[in-house]
Amino acid sequence: MHQRTVLENGLRVVTAELPHTRSATVSVYVGAGSRYERDEEAGLSHFLEHMLFKGASRRPTAREISEAIESVGGVHNAATDREATLYYAKVPHTAALTVIDILADMVTEPVMDPAELEKERAVILEELAGVEDSPAELSAILVDETLWPAQPLGREIGGTPESVKALPLEAVVRYFRKQYVPGNMVLAVAGNVRHEEVVAAAERWLGGVAPAEPGPWYPAMPRNGAPRVRVREKATEQAHLCFAFPSVPLDSDRRFAVSLLNMLLGEGMSSRLFLELREERALVYDIHSYTSEFRDAGSLTIYAGCDPENARVTAEATLEETLKLLAGVPPAELQKAKEMAKGRIQLRMEDTRSVAGWLGSQELLRGKVLTVDEVVARFDAVTLDELLEVGRDVLDPAKAVLAAVGPLDEGTFAGILA
């Protein structure tokens, strides 16, 4: 499926040659995210991501960077998470090597103009203001803060308005020099490309960067008796609820069983939560679940949006469905979840951006890449006994936390997680 080369300075290059495609996606993954930040630096990784689009040595303005990619019909963007920052461009395959030049320039020699930093500070503050207008997003942030309180893993990735206003240019530049080093980066390319040509371009544009040791990330800390229920009172038309259960880390063999639990519970319109709370009881418009895996921790989260008057009954019904799942799963239902999981992966592999993401994220965070066939085999190997054993461990109400945003107070949920 893929080829891998490590340059002398430690930069990893992974490619998937897909000669049937007309596109190529070039991605650069960097070990930089909110888990690498001290409290006073909250939002630093995200701020830096924005700054790298403002100009670099060979294209010194944001306009020149955008025009170089868009003039060939390409699209580009970036994203910051807790453990990684991603820069990517999807272009016609004939422009792939040029895009390596563009992204390499951005992640090695950004301009870092003080005037542009102040402009981008204002843009990021507007981005954070937009989050305030999204109560569903706020509930997801609040539940992470509740599950991992007072630590980087539970902190909002973009930081706070206060922290963003206070970040100086010197801190952004210092963090860039610390984290954006070859051994902490992966160049992942998927599409109608040749591995040897990608490696040659990587050598040209990134091979001369001096190796260095990146800064560490902050490990997950125990909750130590912190409140398990948090409510953000807000004048909204709906109540937005999130349950989160501590789960397994990225390298755990149990994560495949957790993924199947998630499929059964809240993935899609045939999931148990959707069928019961929406189709049967009409309590919600949207209910779904998702998993998150990190280097040393993980979570399974359930979201529901409902009438505030139904907030309590919706929360109770959600917990009831998780307990029903642990009471037993018919073999046919487990098989359905396996086919769904495998099918979703297969569909992803038709897009060069998804393939590049598959390669780059695994290589950066795990140091190795499982192929699609290997992951399919892992799903097939999950037994009903293993599923229920993992489910009893993960979906334990005694370990769960609950966060809600809406015209509510914490008394709404009194005793619900007792």
Distance CA 83, CA 79 (A): 11
Is 49 among the catalytic positions? yes
Amino acid at 22: R
How is residue 196 written in tokens?
């040897």
Cβ pair 47, 172 in contact under 8 A: yes
Task: Choose the catalytic residue: 37, 41, 49, 276.
Answer: 49
Based on the number of CB atoms within 10 Å of its own CB, is 115 exposed (0-12), middle (13-18) or buried (19 or more)?
Answer: exposed
With tokens 């320039």, the residue in question is: 105
Helix 331-348 to helix 255-266 angle (10° resolution) is: 100
Distance CA 114, CA 127 (A): 20
Cβ pair 251, 365 in contact under 8 A: no
Which of 377, 339, 362, 359 is CA-nearest to residue 18? 359
Q: How many Cα atoms within 13 Å fall on the side-chain side of residue 33?
A: 29
Active site residues: 49
